[in-house]
Structure 1
């Protein structure tokens, strides 16, 4: 595809046979640097050569000041500054016959403002002049502060930055077809929202998003101009000016000499904001750097590098809003960059769109102009025609006018692009809306779950605050348990089946953990030891209203006498379960837990008994053989020591049978009958005395005291007689007897006799007697608390006295546990146990 251009020659300087790449700078006037020791100033208004600067050496680059008064020219010995106002004044004072000839100005050492060897490129950013030169080992960029006064020659060094040279550069790559040495390229890029409204030559306004993606958030926040440098070795580098500690960094590598770097608008979406950074290599590689969309998950943006190859070698280039113009020496070509930006970008482009884009970028338009070695920035006249200013290899300064594109084609293409842009925007909005919808749904679930947790917390804490006034009120979420003995690996252990019951209206969702802590009520730790409490954690997922969760845990081993045991139940909620592992790691405050206490269970000696009934007789024999005589030799020695000590106490007489200890609790039969009619057995309000004792024994062994039941094969224990034989958890034989006796009532005017039911505990173990005595007192205290008002009014012993008896029993229990826990000898242990037993015998309790 070709297009005919109108070419107009303005002036001619002769054949350009220099070794330096020529440059054309278009400002108020046209400055031509041909690579020789002369710089030409051409007036476009007068259409004549205005002035000629004669330098001490070949000129490599030049730049005009922002106020159009000074021109900085770089050559081998340094940078020279020329005042254009003095030049114009001298030309106006010349004779009339010489007004048509250009003014020749010899640049001497008095114009030298910066001494530097090998300066290849210049750039002026505000009041900062940048020079780029090549040393033996690196590229050196130096920043100078230009003086405020025009006549001043003081240029302060602000800083310098270096970049090491690369050695893998072939000579053919650094030289063009005409044998000229490639020079470096310097431009300044501003963020579109902070750049000035008018930018001079070599400055570009880049889209803020692309600016941030390429040069970092710090440069965007600091509103720092960024210097982009293209080197003959192919590297594309950048340097933020206003950031402390900034350095030259490599942005991309073309792997061939950089001929041109510029910015193109591509698609007009903002006033003059370039959306594409363009870099052209000497062998025809073109790199387009644009903003592309990321994945559909996050909807983020990233900087995309698109590389295409055009016919080379490339001598020079320039860009306008959406076109790249470049010369191969044999032809001048136009590459429409907007063809590669239609439709969706980045990862959303399909294979068909990508192939069309590549074909469009590989199909430039020929302008049928040859031998162009330098181009200035394109301009547009009032008719909308694009005009280029070029310098040919024969030294001709030419104005190249491109044909105007048909409005119909441009309009249809613009409409098509607008439709594609709208469709792309709609798709982007839908994707972002989907991501936001998912995020909102996730947060709603978290808030719903958190609301459940808050409601459960308020429910349990409110119930806990009212428990002091309403001791019988149960929590809507609570635990109850059942004890049972099991045998594993020739060892017996007492297990507790704990059931968590949810009677509330809320669901215990994920994140909740049932915590159970087992603590001996009368534990005595030796010096240097911690408390013997044990904690069990049971995480669970969902527990709906009305559902239960059952867990099993060992609480004591055979031979253990550290009863009663306190079982503290609580619920623990982990806040990190709401956010997940990644979310909790980013929020340290959400890694804590919420602990809500439930109820407390008590496991006493009655819960841990082995009853000698027909269904459990075989188990008891096994238990005795495993727990009592685990070490036959030790058992034999211990029995001999006990017999010898008893014999010594009785004057040397040998005793073969162990001594029996007992304790009793008496309850008025009249009170029991009144309580039995309402609580013990509602179906049988009047029973014979022997049946009353049986019922009392049966109730003591089956009552859910402290929220814990004994583990039997039925709901209640079948007691066939008023005597129950069992074994305690320490292996001692225990006998429970219930009978009616007549008791004389003291402290009354009349000597009255009352009928009472006596529960007697008998065993050869003082620990078993004290433990069971404490357990029976606890049961009777519960019985009196449940008594109706009529029975309560008949009770002559207040509940406070029963509580004092319970406290005394707990003290006795702690004394026994202390005697066994600190490792006393037999001679030390016996007096302590006998004191407790004597107190039990001397202080019988009668409840009437």
Structure 2
């Protein structure tokens, strides 16, 4: 496909684009050809022809869809979305808007970087609407008749209206008649939407050639046609009545026509006067007239002169998909018939125009020209029948079109071209970015001559092309490699971006309190015992599972942050955090990845529960910034990373899990009387006394308020410490059965009456050894704590009297016994945390609550307050330095602790 370039291209002031797809139109006003441009915004722009500056801007109440020019009365007819058709007289003064003019001028200067004078901006009021109908899709004006097209439910409606007489421009138009015709059965589904992509195209065709005196009085969209072809297409009656024909190109592909003038019998008839001429099977975007010239033995002198163009003898119709139909007269069997010749070019076609025998059309990427040359047959008449000789006497069109690229892209609307004195072609175009430009193209003959290569020049050009094949091949190979790398990088970035968006969206849903139906990436955290080198250690297992559609590659790593309290149980104690980083090689969708981190270190005497586990994904940005895809997520590539909060990556949280003592207990698989074997845990030989730690930390905390010279008196020998304690430490919590019914039903154990085994399964639901509890349906379980202390948990039903009006109430009591006071504290806190979660999930009604005896409740609260006063009294004695027996004090504190942890209060 040969190409040529425009001789000159100059840009005018840009226009404001409307919403949606880039579209609009261009018209020329008067003989000087002042461009009139609209682009689906509320403005219509009129330019000066010579200077190219904005002369006047009309502002309408809504978006402008279509504009028609009445050159005889110097008026503009404008179709606005949702309102109707407005009429503007170009000679009358209108109300101007100064602020709008300044804003439009500022926008044009910012894009073109040039100064210009202030354009006039005129506001068009609603009183200038002469046809009020929001359903009008398109219209055309012929003399004093307005023809509108309306899309209804399953049909098109054509309405004829008469314009008001001169001097009464603001009066409404008078309706003459309506005509309906149905959609085509193959109407495209996309074109049935309320907002049609394509507008109906209307053209007015006159039966007689336009005289020179009438050229300035008719719109450039009104064309004339050779009388013989006019009679073949639109009947002899229309030719005799000198009736203009309105040709409709509809979005459903139909090409219809209707005469403006008609006989009285046709008006009174019931049948519609709309006639279907052809169907393109795609939306119509252009209708024009062509002068299909004949090429007589390639004689340039045979061409018609440019100053006297021939009368159009063909109609061209273009579809949006690139179908072109040429309608011309053809002589067959000594009878003239209309001949429909179809061609196909690459679409979609956005706009088109005609000049003599050349068709110009634009697509999304270029502007093309096609010259239709009808050639005579050069062969003799011998060997042919008379019918064949007659059928070939009118010439033939080429079987395949050869578009010529003009190297102008992005055109969405173009005006009717005009010829310059030098024979060049001049037209005004609107681009998809809102730029208005005037283009001058060489004449069609020069474009054709550019395709006729001489033998010597063609041979030299072939040699040059062959010489450059090698370098072009090498360049293509290099560019292909670069494009593959970029495509791979963009594909990876797109996957990572989708993962980030999915995780952030899930995080926002969790903050709002909503649970997403599909979790892209999950991380399951459990605590379990691991045996390595004959030593048992408590570890945290994190199972990362990819449910998304994209793989996690080398740029990602799983980070696990363990936050636990220090061994000093004081108010001023701080937490210790360890962050572990695990690089991800490749985790494809549907696969899992398991990592483990230690829960205790060799320097810890015991683990202070609860422990918080934070899991999140870390995305390394160093590989993107430096281009090294194999770079480690962290500079030193150590397993224990100091943190993932540096500026070289993105942290995306997955979940937070709390591990308490119930999750870490080792459950004995035997009966109740079986002796529990101790775990072989590598720990220091010296076991610290938890009660001693508690009293020492309390003394250190309170001693800050005492002068340095003062010292606390008394020894610190505690005979009742847990190292020599004869009886185990115990505590209990009482719960109502109604509170446990919901959670036990979710676990599948609360179908009947609630038993002690059901309660134990609920408590150990987060423990990996919960299967042992299910296998032995007993109300009691024996366990071993991480510090090698023995634990027994018992669940039983007890009756509580004296507190309820309706008599004794049966409740569930959870009794915990431990050989270590520290373990008892952690176990009591773990069970209390589960009860708090249970209270947050359940919302019992006031009707299900039993009636309480207020006096008994007051007595219980009074007893608890008395115990608290005794504890406060002992603390005050320690603070002021009173000489007391520390052994008796420790025993008293243990007694008070046990009384506070064993009350008759019931959680309902």
TM over 0.5: no
Structure showing greater radius of gyration is 1
TM-score category, normalised to shorter length? 0.3 to 0.5
